[in-house]
Structure 1
Amino acid sequence: MAKQSIFGRVAQLAKANVNAMLDSAEDPQKMLDQMVRDYTDNIAEAETAVAQTIGNLRMIEEDYTEDVQASSDWGSKALAASSKADEFRTAGEAASADKFDSLAKVAIQRQMQAESEAKTAEPTISSQREIVEKLKTGLDAMKSKRHELVSKRDELIARAKSAQAQNQVQEAVKSIDIMDPSSEVGRFEEKIRREEARVRGAAELASSSLDTQFNSLEDLGEQTEIEARLAALKAPNSAPSLTTGSEQ
């Protein structure tokens, strides 16, 4: 029953539709990891069962071979005893002849017993050989399926990591998007623009103040000239001059 149970699990696992199971799984990676572990455990268990079945088969085969050989040996002994009995009977030694005929009968009986045992073992050997072949086939199917699962798991993990890496890159690009006014770069650019505007305003203000000072100087020069001329008019013995700043 144990061997049949293991063989049943081998057949069931070998026929498993991996793609369908992946479609219905919430976490394919964890499911595949668990399936790989289950397959590995069942393979080890099935290998033990196959080894035990093969060992039992070899024992039965050895017993069968011994029975066949014993049948042949007892047949030879029966023939030898019968021939000896015939010799004694020809020689007129009836008692000795009967003795060897009795030995021949015993040998024949042993021969028949060995033949019966060998014949009884034949269907068992045939059945055990069939079971061994089925178990070996099941094991090969399981190993093939396990290889498929491992490949599928590795592919899935690689795809998941690739998708995760692409998502991280996209998120990183979003976080440094200089066109985003709310980003750090946008705020820094706006700060620089305000500082540049402040510098231009200060320069413009400074320029305006300088022009005012020069205009004040010009007004001051004109007033000084007026005061000087007025003083000259009031000075004694002074005559008005029509030409500004000219003397004879």
Structure 2
Amino acid sequence: MGIFSRMTDIINSNINALLDQAEDPQKMIRLIIQEMEDTLVEVRSSSARVLADRKTAARKLERVQAEAESWENKARLAISKGREDLARAALQEKYAIEDEIAAIETELKAADDHITQLNDEIAQLQQKLTDARAKQKALTMRSRTVESRIKVKRQMHREQLDEAFNRFEHFERRMDNLESQLESMDLGRDVSPDLAAEIDSLEEDERVNGELERLKSELGQRPNQE
């Protein structure tokens, strides 16, 4: 009963609903397919046993039917010989066998119904298995497509980022060029000396003045010596 109950649950299950609830649809559908395949193997094995039991019951039915016919023939013979007592006994044996025949026929009918049910369920399970495999193939293709699109998107984003950096570098180079042009315009122009340059100039003037006084002094002394 466990096999048939599980198989019925799979047959009646909505694969799309199961996939919607699954965190990993591909893993989920692989599990569903594996469960279906395992169940299908078990059901086929059970079907084989039912078929074997039916063949055994059919052979038994043929045997007891032949036995019942034999007792009827014996009853006919006894009547022809005037032995009604023997005919009655033979018919009683026949009736006992006919009860067994009825039981075997009931068993065969149940086996036929069981086999029909198994055939229907196997056919449904096989169809579900085919659908699940098709769904697996479709999911695989969708997964590959999504992965490819993600890869392209990432590549596009990298290219856009590279392009942005290139534009930024181009802008930096342009600013460098403009600043260089501005600086080049000041080349050769007199520029006011800074504080250190002014102080150096004063020191230089002082030295020059000192030298000048010294020279004047020397020149002023020479005429007096003569």
TM-score by structure 1 length?
A: 0.64
124, 138, 150: which is aligned to 2:133? Answer: 150
Q: Are 1:138 and 2:135 counterparts? A: no
Following the alignment from structure 2 to structure 1, what is the Cα–Cα distance between the partners of residues 130 and 76?
Answer: 61
The aligned residue for residue 7 of structure 1 is 4
User: Where in structure 2 are the equivalents of 1:1-248 lying within 5 Å?
Assistant: 4-83=1-80, 85-86=81-82, 103-177=86-160, 180-182=163-165, 185-186=166-167
Matched residue type, 1:48 = S
The CA deviation string for residues 67-117 of structure 1, in whole angstroms up to 9 with x for no partner, is: 12221122112212321x13xxxxxxxxxxx5xx56544533332222121
List runs of 5+ in structure 1 lacking aligned partners: 87-97, 209-248
Following the alignment from structure 2 to structure 1, what is the Cα–Cα distance between the partners of residues 164 and 136?
Answer: 44
Structure-2 change in CA distance of 1:102 and 1:173 (3 Å): same
Give, in angstroms, the shift of residue 171 of structure 1. Answer: 1.2
The aligned residue for residue 200 of structure 2 is none
- Three-state SS of the structure 1 residue aligned to 2:160 is coil
Of all paired residues, the percent bearing the same amino acid is 20
Following the alignment from structure 1 to structure 2, what is the Cα–Cα distance between the partners of residues 181 and 31?
Answer: 43
Following the alignment from structure 2 to structure 1, what is the Cα–Cα distance between the partners of residues 52 and 27?
Answer: 38
Give, in angstroms, the shift of residue 12 of structure 1. Answer: 1.4
Following the alignment from structure 1 to structure 2, what is the Cα–Cα distance between the partners of residues 8 and 65?
Answer: 34
The CA deviation string for residues 13-42 of structure 1, in whole angstroms up to 9 with x for no partner, is: 110011111111111100000110010000
How many aligned residue pairs are there?
184
Following the alignment from structure 1 to structure 2, what is the Cα–Cα distance between the partners of residues 18 and 69?
Answer: 53
The aligned residue for residue 243 of structure 1 is none
Q: Higher helix share goes to which structure?
A: 2
Structure-2 change in CA distance of 1:12 and 1:179 (3 Å): closer
Give, in angstroms, the shift of residue 134 of structure 1. Answer: 0.9
Give, in angstroms, the shift of residue 53 of structure 1. Answer: 0.9
Give, in angstroms, the shift of residue 121 of structure 1. Answer: 1.8
- Three-state SS of the structure 2 residue aligned to 1:26 is coil
RMSD over aligned Cα, in angstroms? 2.9
The aligned residue for residue 207 of structure 2 is none
Give, in angstroms, the shift of residue 133 of structure 1. Answer: 1.0
Contact kept in structure 2, 1:178 and 1:186, CA below 8 Å? no
Give, in angstroms, the shift of residue 160 of structure 1. Answer: 1.2
The aligned residue for residue 95 of structure 1 is none
